[in-house]
């Protein structure tokens, strides 16, 4: 009986085990790639099998996540048709 319990526990461990992944999201480096500056709600990236979704909000409600060249990840209230922050100091 003890052997059966060991087999069941071992099989359960295999069934319920999860694979963990780690990834580094360097928003400053990502923002400095040509054409990478943009906003959206949400913005989504996948690196090494890990997906990260960024959304924006402030005290007045929903705003946009914004990948700002030279600054990294932030927020922007108003995006133009090209997904650029308008005004740029928003």
- Looking at residue 89, what is its pLDDT? 74
Q: What tens digit of pLDDT does each residue of 3-25 get?
A: 433 334 444 444 455 566 788 99
Mean pLDDT along residues 28-45: 93
- The answer to whether 44 touches 53, Cβ cutoff 8 Å, is yes
Taking CA atoms, 79 is separated from 23, 48, 55, in Å, by 29, 29, 14
Q: What tens digit of pLDDT does each residue of 44-88 get?
A: 999 999 999 999 988 888 899 999 999 999 999 999 999 999 988
With 0-12 / 13-18 / 19 or more C-beta atoms within 10 angstroms meaning exposed / middle / buried, residue 77 is middle
- Torsion of the alpha carbons at 70, 41, 59 and 50, rounded to the nearest 10: -70
State the pTM of this model: 0.71
């Amino acid at each position: 009986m003890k052997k059966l319990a060991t087999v069941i526990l071992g099989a359960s461990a295999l069934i319920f085990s999860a694979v963990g992944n780690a990834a580094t999201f360097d928003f400053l480096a990502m923002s400095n790639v040509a054409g990478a500056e943009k906003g959206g709600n949400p913005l989504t990236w996948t690196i090494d099998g890990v997906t990260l979704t960024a959304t924006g909000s402030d005290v007045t409600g929903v705003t946009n996540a914004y990948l700002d060249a030279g600054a990294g990840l932030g927020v922007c209230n108003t995006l133009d048709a090209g997904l650029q922050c308008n005004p740029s100091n928003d």
